[in-house]
Amino acid sequence: MIYAFLSFFDDNGGAEMFGYPISEYGPENGKGRIVQYFQRARMEWYPELAPEQRVQLADLGSIHFDLLAAQGKVDPALKKPLAAPGIIGDVPLSVK
């Protein structure tokens, strides 16, 4: 693991949360983004972002859904837009 991924891994639950690394870190197929795969996550490196935001988790659910849709295995119309953070449907997650 590169230091930034290791730091994120350690600070956010480690192996219990992400599982163990299942790949080395390296560029994602032609996209130039540095990634590393874990049993339950894919970490991505965004050097253009602020230091505390440079390691991001991939949206594996959407990636998998899009792959299945491209193969004709699911109807792309089933995919719902993402809700704004802090909201489930029309219900806010906190009361102000």
> Tell me: the pLDDT tens digits for 19-45?
999 999 999 877 778 999 999 999 999
Give the residue from 33, 31, 61 showing the smallest Cα distance to 69: 61
Give SS3 for 32: coil
- What does pTM read for this prediction? 0.72
Least confident of 23-27, 66-70, 79-83: 79-83
Interatomic CA distance for residues 73 and 65, integer angstroms: 9
Say if residue 73's pLDDT is above 80: yes
Strand partners, 92: 87
Continuous segment of H or E residues that includes residue 38: strand 34-38
CA pair distance 54, 93, nearest whole angstrom: 26
